[in-house]
Amino acid sequence: MKTLALLLASLSPLAVAEEKNRSEASPPNIVFIFSDDHALNAISSYGGPLSKIAPTPHIDQLAKEGALFQNSFCANSICGPSRASILTGKHSHKNGFLRNTKRPFDGNQWTFIKELQKANYQTAIIGKWHLKSKPTGFDHWEILPGQGNYYNPDFIQMNGKRKRFKGYVTDITTNKAIDWLNSRDKTKPFILMCQHKAPHRTFSPALRHLDAFNGIKIPEPATLFDDYSTRSKTLKENEMEIDRHLTWGYDLKLRKGERQGVVLPEFRDYGTPEYNRMNPQQKAAWDAHFKPLNKKFITAYKSGTMSHQDVVRWKYQRYLKNYLGTVKAVDDSVGKLTKYLKDNGLSENTIVIYSSDQGFYLGEHGWFDKRWMFEESFKMPFVIKWPGQIKPNSRPEAMIQNIDYAPTFLEMAGLSAPPEVQGKSIVNILKGKEQSVRKALYYAYYEHGEHSVPQHFGVRTKTHKLIHFPFTKEWNLFDLQADPQEINNIYGQKEHAAIQEHLHAEYQRLRSEFDAPPYEKFKTKRKK
């Protein structure tokens, strides 16, 4: 407001009126800041058990100035599929990107970004893309190959060539986004998708943030030692436990030479590839932080005084400190981008969104990773600031999903989505004119490989969740109000027969509304 006022003060009265009319009439710009695997519990304003520790002042500031959605979900809790649902406004079985596999996203299909481009928007994407094919519908793109790297990352340029950049991936992605903002055609509206790798595995923080959580004890979730009884037997087959599957080097940053001859039981040994990418100066900063801490742990481990649970607890602390460390730079990015908008008089007519491709387990059920339809990974953060349209400090309760982004972004730009789009615009919710756009959500997960999570499907209402595991013929039902941690499967219990029937009906209704195929169509063999 201040910047606009200053700008207007420097212009003649006629120019002032013209400038005001132009900005009021011109479609809003959109800055979409998107990260990878950012759990709601790692965003302070979501108020979870880590809210005093989660380092997100700039994301929280956005939430203060706009809306923090309390019930925002993905359609399929895995990277590429979530991104494909965002671009197309459709469930995975309709956009064809069901899993993170070698098969590329079909960039010839309709996407909201192409629609914005046709409507004179300048379009850009920088950072993690992860859909295999080249981005289409973007005037400018510069993307990470696959998952990308944290230190000295390579980026694929529009000419198809890879180029390496010195530094930390989150900072480099942000700086590239700002360079593009500076170089854009300033007469046109724009959409910028700034998509970070962090806080994805290998959970490696910026070197300047390594010490951020020194001496802090991160609170443990109640289900850190979940034994998975009372739910589908497939839960026990998971390969995403902090206990058994986090790796000592790759995830926990204990390099081979630091183990002093101690053999640490290990599920898989991936080495420490991120360390190997660093230059001597970067390695020295890393070593200065990790070496003494690793020595302390190995000494305690060797002494035989640590119980198995103590070791799991140590792993949890190490995992969370690294994960939250990566969040710090993502939050810095939100701060830098919003400051840029302010400094350049763009704040008033730019919508800023912060979201992430899915949630993540921060020790709940003993896990890291995502995939399951349980709340921690089914939920996506969704924070949105739209000056003059969204009431500051809003906390909408409406259930929204990533298939809603495409029609919403189009309506914000004064456009509409074609009828085959399955998501719904939430613009009326943003404007406070409507309370909800649906009464139940449909979920489908199709991989059965890394981390060993079986295909499953389900429905979630405001109060309950029904999950189906078709290939073991199991159903799980949860009362989300009585059992928010989703520990007690109440399926088949007489006293819940009515709600069970209701959830079944909702599930079938949504499968038919979305034209979901029979389970057999996308059945896969378990991949090792």
How do 350-356 and 382-385 pair as beta strands? antiparallel
By the rule CB under 6 A, 154 interacts with ligand SGN: no
Q: At closest approach, how far in Å is the CB of 482 from ligand SGN?
A: 31
Question: If we measure between CA atoms, which residue out of 16, 82, 126 comes closest to residue 402?
Answer: 82
Is 489 within 8 Å of 474 (Cβ atoms)?
no
By the rule CB under 6 A, 83 interacts with ligand SGN: no
Question: Which residues, 353 to 382, sit near Ca ion by CB under 5 A?
Answer: 357
User: 194 — alpha (psi -120 to 50), left (phi > 0) or beta?
Assistant: beta
Radius of gyration of the chain (CA): 23
Count of Cβ atoms closer than 10 Å to residue 431 Cβ:
12
Q: Which helix (H) or strand (E) holds 22?
A: helix 13-25
By a kind-dependent CB cut-off of 5 to 8 A, residue 196 interacts, out of Ca ion, ligand SGN, none, with none
By a kind-dependent CB cut-off of 5 to 8 A, residue 451 interacts, out of Ca ion, ligand SGN, none, with ligand SGN
Q: Which residues pair with residue 392 across a beta bridge? A: none
442 DSSP assignment: E
Phi, psi (degrees; rounded to nearest 5) at 503: -65, -40
* CA–CA separation, 241 and 254 (whole Å): 18
* CA–CA separation, 91 and 192 (whole Å): 23
By the rule CB under 6 A, 79 interacts with ligand SGN: yes
Q: At closest approach, how far in Å is the CB of 370 from ligand SGN?
A: 7
By the rule CB under 5 A, 274 interacts with Ca ion: no
Is 72 within 8 Å of 404 (Cβ atoms)?
no
Q: Choose between 27 and 449: whose C-beta lies nearer to ligand SGN.
A: 449
By the rule CB under 6 A, 376 interacts with ligand SGN: no
Q: At closest approach, how far in Å is the CB of 369 from ligand SGN?
A: 5
Q: Spell out, one character per residue from 73 to 102, where the chain touches Ca ion: x when CB under 5 A holds, - when not.
A: ------x-----------------------
By the rule CB under 6 A, 451 interacts with ligand SGN: yes
Q: Which two tokens stand for residue 269?
A: 């040994």
Q: Which two tokens stand for residue 490?
A: 């109440």
Amino acid making up residue 438: R
By the rule CB under 6 A, 75 interacts with ligand SGN: no
Q: Choose between 111 and 358: whose C-beta lies nearer to ligand SGN.
A: 358
Q: Which helix (H) or strand (E) holds 11?
A: none
Q: Choose between 200 and 465: whose C-beta lies nearer to ligand SGN.
A: 200
By the rule CB under 6 A, 78 interacts with ligand SGN: yes
**Which residue's C-beta sits nearest to ligand SGN?**
79
Question: Which residues, 436 to 465, sit near Ca ion by CB under 5 A?
Answer: none
Q: Tokens 């649902």 — which residue?
A: 85
241 burial class (0-12, 13-18, 19+ CB within 10 angstroms)?
Answer: buried
By the rule CB under 5 A, 36 interacts with Ca ion: yes
Q: Choose between 55 and 359: whose C-beta lies nearer to ligand SGN.
A: 359
Q: Choose between 90 and 201: whose C-beta lies nearer to ligand SGN.
A: 201
Q: Choose between 140 and 245: whose C-beta lies nearer to ligand SGN.
A: 245
Distance of CA 20 to the CA centre of its chain: 36
* CA–CA separation, 513 and 515 (whole Å): 6
Query: Which residues of 338-395 form beta strands (DSSP E)?
Result: 350-356, 382-385
- How many residues interact with ligand SGN (rule CB under 6 A)? 14
Q: Choose between 451 and 460: whose C-beta lies nearer to ligand SGN.
A: 451
By the rule CB under 6 A, 147 interacts with ligand SGN: yes
Q: Choose between 312 and 353: whose C-beta lies nearer to Ca ion.
A: 353
Q: Choose between 318 and 424: whose C-beta lies nearer to ligand SGN.
A: 318
By the rule CB under 6 A, 278 interacts with ligand SGN: no
CB hemisphere CA count around 383 (13 angstroms):
29
Q: Spell out, one character per residue from 113 to 142, where the chain touches ligand SGN: x when CB under 6 A holds, - when not.
A: -----------------x------------
Q: Which two tokens stand for residue 191?
A: 């959409």
Q: Tokens 């979870």 — which residue?
A: 48
Q: At closest approach, how far in Å is the CB of 178 from Ca ion?
A: 24
Q: Choose between 83 and 424: whose C-beta lies nearer to ligand SGN.
A: 83
Q: Which helix (H) or strand (E) holds 468?
A: strand 464-469
Among 201, 253, 318, 328, binds ligand SGN (CB under 6 A): 201
Q: Spell out, one character per residue from 26 to 45, where the chain touches ligand SGN: x when CB under 6 A holds, - when not.
A: ----------xx--------
By the rule CB under 6 A, 437 interacts with ligand SGN: no
Q: Which helix (H) or strand (E) holds 322?
A: helix 308-343
Is 101 within 8 Å of 118 (Cβ atoms)?
no
Q: Choose between 70 and 524: whose C-beta lies nearer to ligand SGN.
A: 524
Q: Which helix (H) or strand (E) holds 193?
A: strand 190-195
Stretch that binds ligand SGN, among 197-205, 292-300, 337-345, 503-511 (CB under 6 A): 197-205
Binding site for ligand SGN (CB under 6 A): 36-37, 78-79, 100, 130, 147, 200-202, 270, 369, 450-451
Binding site for Ca ion (CB under 5 A): 36-37, 79, 357
